[in-house]
């Protein structure tokens, strides 16, 4: 498995510009189902540049955002309590949080170690919510020219198959944990994506970010040359899974 703790830092600015946010309805569902309120303390693991953090701030009394990469962590909102750490070594006392949230991060974790740590920091009957943005318009999430897809298909995928969201190996790991059965809901999260943000989004994907800088820039120049419109339709949907510790 490639090391995600330093993969995305080199593309932190592109990540922040290009990656999508989350539907407010998805967060509201998690609040209801996990019985969270304004006084709840919430932990976000693998917070990245704060796409989910920004929505959580102001909704709960205490928000802690844990992110291992310093370049990503530097872009987290200042109102969050941003800490260096990992899901496998959470810098927090036992039973500190009503819920743990993971936005586009849980598939990267070493699940046995991470799940044990999540269980440790959760209050009794505490909740876990996992968020992913997924393509809903076919293979690609954006209706781009065919040449863009062809350029990306030339790349090798650096992520072991079991650490892809779609393998559901992460779900199997949770099935053997002290949590209740996972529940699931999806939400539309589409719209138009400006050309600059689309190039940034592609630059932030793991199989592009893992290239040498020379190869990455060459690929992005090629892709940008094929993108002649000011914006493109993006057809994402947000997948949300949630559960609570067993009584």
**pLDDT per residue over 19-66, tens digit each?**
999 999 999 999 999 999 999 999 999 999 999 999 999 899 899 999
Query: Could you give the CA distance from residue 3 to residue 1 in angstroms, rounded to a whole number?
Result: 6
pLDDT score, position 58: 85
Q: Is residue 169 part of a domain?
A: yes
pLDDT score, position 203: 96
Q: Which two tokens stand for residue 30?
A: 């998690």
Q: Is residue 198 part of a domain?
A: no
Query: Could you give the CA distance from residue 144 to residue 100 in angstroms, rounded to a whole number?
Result: 35
pLDDT score, position 1: 46
Q: Is residue 213 part of a domain?
A: no
Domain of 48, CATH number, reads 3.40.50.150
| 3 state SS of 232 | strand
What does the pLDDT profile of the chain (247 residues) look like in tens digits? 456 557 899 999 999 999 999 999 999 999 999 999 999 999 999 999 999 999 999 899 899 999 999 999 999 998 999 999 999 999 999 999 999 999 999 999 999 999 999 999 999 999 999 999 998 754 456 788 999 999 999 998 888 888 889 999 999 999 999 999 999 999 999 889 999 999 999 999 999 999 999 999 999 999 999 999 999 988 899 999 999 999 8
The parent domain of residue 107 ranges over 4-136+159-192+234-244
Q: Is residue 25 part of a domain?
A: yes
Q: Is residue 96 part of a domain?
A: yes
Are the beta carbons of 179 and 128 closer than 8 angstroms? Answer: yes
Q: Give residue-wise pLDDT tens across range 165-184.
A: 999 999 999 999 999 999 99
Phi-psi category of 227—alpha, beta or left, where left has phi over 0 and alpha has psi -120 to 50?
A: beta
Cα torsion angle, 85, 87, 93, 97, sign:
positive
What is the three-state SS of 121-190?
Answer: HEEEEEEEEEEEEEECCCCCCECCCHHHHHHHHCCCCCCCHHHCHHHCHHHHHHHCCCECCCEEEEEECC
State the DSSP string of 59-93. Answer: TBSEEEEE-S-HHHHTTS-TTSEEE--BTTB-SS-
Are the beta carbons of 219 and 172 closer than 8 angstroms? Answer: no
- Could you count the other beta carbons within 10 Å of the beta carbon of residue 115? 22
Q: Is residue 152 part of a domain?
A: no
- Could you count the other beta carbons within 10 Å of the beta carbon of residue 84? 11
pLDDT score, position 235: 87
Are the beta carbons of 142 and 193 closer than 8 angstroms? Answer: yes
Q: Is residue 141 part of a domain?
A: no
pLDDT score, position 190: 85
Q: How many domains are there within the chain? A: 1
- pTM, whole model, 2 decimals? 0.94
Q: Is residue 220 part of a domain?
A: no
pLDDT score, position 3: 60
pLDDT score, position 4: 59
Phi-psi category of 50—alpha, beta or left, where left has phi over 0 and alpha has psi -120 to 50?
A: left
Query: Could you give the CA distance from residue 51 to residue 77 in angstroms, rounded to a whole number?
Result: 9
Are the beta carbons of 126 and 30 closer than 8 angstroms? Answer: no
Residues in Cβ contact with 124 at an 8 Å cutoff, skipping those fewer than 6 apart: 95, 245, 247
């Amino acid at each position: 498995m490639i090391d995600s703790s330093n993969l995305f830092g080199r593309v932190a600015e592109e990540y922040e510009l290009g990656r999508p946010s989350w539907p407010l309805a998805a967060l509201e569902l998690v609040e209801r189902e996990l019985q969270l309120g304004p006084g709840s303390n919430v932990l976000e693991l693998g917070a990245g540049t704060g796409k989910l953090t920004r929505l959580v701030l102001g909704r709960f009394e205490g928000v802690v955002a844990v992110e291992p990469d310093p370049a990503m962590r530097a872009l987290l909102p200042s109102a969050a309590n941003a800490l260096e750490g990992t899901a496998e070594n959470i810098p927090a006392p036992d039973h500190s949080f009503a819920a743990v949230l993971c936005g586009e991060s849980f598939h990267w974790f070493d699940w046995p170690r991470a799940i044990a740590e999540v269980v440790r920091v959760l209050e009794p009957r505490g909740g876990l919510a996992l968020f992913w943005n997924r393509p809903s318009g076919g293979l690609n999430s954006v209706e781009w020219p065919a040449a863009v897809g062809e350029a990306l298909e030339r790349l090798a995928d650096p992520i072991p198959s079991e650490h892809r969201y779609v393998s559901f190996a992460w779900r199997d790991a949770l099935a053997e944990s002290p949590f209740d059965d996972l529940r699931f809901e999806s939400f539309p999260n589409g719209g138009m994506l400006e050309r600059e943000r689309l190039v940034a989004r592609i630059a932030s994907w793991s199989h592009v970010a893992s290239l040498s800088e020379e190869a990455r820039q060459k690929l992005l120049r090629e892709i940008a040359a094929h993108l002649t419109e000011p914006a493109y339709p993006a057809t994402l949907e947000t997948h949300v899974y949630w559960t609570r510790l067993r009584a």
